[in-house]
A and B are shown apart, each in its own frame.
Chain A
Amino acid sequence: MDKEILLYRYFSNQLTEQENTQLQELLKTDSDFRQQFDFESSLKRIIKDKENKDLKTKLGGFEKAISEKKAVRTLWYGNFGKWSIAASVVLLVGLGWFFNNLFSTNYEELYENNFQQYPNTVYSITRGESAKSIEGDAFVAYETGDFQKALYNFHAINEEDRNDYVDFYMAQSYLQINQMEKSKEHFQKVIDENGEFAAEAHWYLALIAIKQEDNEMAKQQLNELISKYDYNKDKAIELLSELN
């Protein structure tokens, strides 16, 4: 069988036992074949690594939603109890306040409930390696919450060496130190260049808009996210309904 096809069948999990024997034989005898096999295996390995990290982040989001649901339930019953007493005393005033609060959007709360710092999923930091590159330094600082230092190092990376995810993490860092305009600028750049984190950038731009009480912009970003990507889709739909 053609070597290319053999590799193809191996990586799409279709190898028969006989083909597997042939593959094992070639791995022992054909060094070019071995090299190609190792390269593709490594590629498979790093993609798996990335996907697993993304999934873990997603599960963290599910978990957060579960604990928030529980918290909201307690809050709701608590408030209702209090206000039913107040309403019996000054019914009109009480109800007026109640409805007013019920139907207006609490932007701060929406932001707090949905904001989560995006973890470093791109740069692997292993012990003893921290000082090897500026980018490494930046991510070490990012992971330890020193966003000023992270930004300093991100800025120090040469333009031509800058991976497309760097803007995304710069935006995250600015967001953490409350420099919203700078943060928006970098998220926008990620979207304009259609980088790896374009979907995530829409999500965070929506959250910034919520924090800045810009209802229209928040809806626009969420709609773009929902129509083009799968990232946080369910959450985005939920959030959108709360903004409407």
Chain B
Amino acid sequence: MQNEQAEVTLEDLRIGSDSVLRKVYEENRDKFLNYARRFNLSEDENVDVYQDAYVIFYDNVMNGKIERFTSSISTYLFSIGKYLIFDRMRKNKKTVGSNFDLSIVKDEAASIDHLEIDTPVLTREQQLLRQHFGALGKQCRELLTLFYYRGFTIQEIMESENYNSENVVKAAKSRCMKSLRERIKANAS
């Protein structure tokens, strides 16, 4: 596995097997940490930033904001990581040292302008929705996750989950949504 030279494709990431996720993590980790060490964060924070950058990158692959790779995966991770490091340093009230130039970061980060990086905290309603979603049956949770998170089309869901027809998938999805709405309604009354 380690000798595998094949590039990880967008499609591989969308399927998201553990081995692909691990490969991407391991291949970029040392480079990223070496880079991050020039800033004044602790090693644990650097690892944390790397993981956060990875999660954001992956999320943007899933939500379709990254439709094709215009640069390598490591460039995305670095650009997002830099943004996060600066954000953290601002929050830690650490001064930005003179050994690097903010404008460079800005330019390179331009490629991530269209990405979703900051996510607002969940509203009270969304927290409730999350609880009700968690209480749905496994099949519903998986179906809705494939659709809303992985961005699968009805046809793709049919193929990957062995449903008999697209109509069966549609009906199942409607049932799940109905059940979710009913749970919310029951909770509100």
B55–A52 touching, CB < 8 Å = yes
What is the minimal beta-carbon distance from A12 to any residue of chain B, in angstroms? 5
Given the complex, which residues of A lie within 8 Å of B40, measured CB to CB?
A: none
Report the interface size for chain B: residues with CB under 8 A from the other chain: 44
Contact of B133 among A43, A55, A59 (CB under 8 A): A43
Bits for B58-97, please: 1 = Cβ < 8 Å to A, else 0: 1100111000000000000000000000000000000000
Given the complex, which residues of B lie within 8 Å of A8, measured CB to CB?
A: 154
B148–A11 touching, CB < 8 Å = yes
Residue in A closest to B22 when the chains form the complex, CB atoms: A62
Bits for B147-162, please: 1 = Cβ < 8 Å to A, else 0: 1110111100000000
Q: Does A47 contact B (CB under 8 A)?
A: yes
A42–B134 touching, CB < 8 Å = no
Measured CA separation A13–B148 after assembly (Å): 10
Residue in B closest to A48 when the chains form the complex, CB atoms: B149
Task: Knowing A66-B26, A66-B29, say if A47 contacts B19 (CB, 8 Å).
Answer: no
Q: Does B109 contact A (CB under 8 A)?
A: no
Given the complex, which residues of A lie within 8 Å of B114, measured CB to CB?
A: none
Interface-central residue, A45, A56, A164, A230, by most chain B CB under 10 Å: A45
How many A-B contacts at CB < 8 Å in the complex? Answer: 110
What is the minimal beta-carbon distance from A40 to any residue of chain B, in angstroms? 7
Contact of B145 among A47, A55, A232, A233 (CB under 8 A): A47
Q: Does B17 contact A (CB under 8 A)?
A: yes
Given the complex, which residues of A lie within 8 Å of B172, measured CB to CB?
A: none
A233–B18 touching, CB < 8 Å = yes
Residue in B closest to A198 when the chains form the complex, CB atoms: B138
Interface-central residue, A47, A49, A123, A165, by most chain B CB under 10 Å: A47
Given the complex, which residues of A lie within 8 Å of B129, measured CB to CB?
A: 42-43, 46
Given the complex, which residues of B lie within 8 Å of A212, measured CB to CB?
A: none
Task: Knowing A42-B125, A58-B18, say if A48 contacts B62 (CB, 8 Å).
Answer: yes
Measured CA separation A43–B129 after assembly (Å): 7
What is the minimal beta-carbon distance from B116 to any residue of chain A, in angstroms? 9
B29–A50 touching, CB < 8 Å = no
B153–A14 touching, CB < 8 Å = yes
B122–A46 touching, CB < 8 Å = yes
Bits for A39-75, please: 1 = Cβ < 8 Å to B, else 0: 1101111111111100110111011001000000000
B144–A43 touching, CB < 8 Å = yes
Q: Does A116 contact B (CB under 8 A)?
A: no
Q: Does B126 contact A (CB under 8 A)?
A: yes
A60–B51 touching, CB < 8 Å = yes
A43–B148 touching, CB < 8 Å = yes
Given the complex, which residues of A lie within 8 Å of B10, measured CB to CB?
A: none
Given the complex, which residues of A lie within 8 Å of B52, measured CB to CB?
A: 56
B residues in contact (CB < 8 Å) with A: 17-19, 21-22, 25-26, 29, 47, 51-52, 54-55, 58-59, 62-64, 119, 121-123, 125-127, 129-131, 133-135, 138, 141, 144-145, 147-149, 151-154, 180-181
The 7 closest A-B pairs by CB, nearest first: A13-B64, A44-B148, A46-B130, A59-B51, A62-B25, A47-B149, A13-B151
Besides the known contacts A11-B147, A51-B145, A55-B21, 6 further A-B residue pairs in the complex with CB atoms under 8 A apart: A13-B64, A14-B153, A47-B149, A50-B133, A51-B59, A194-B138
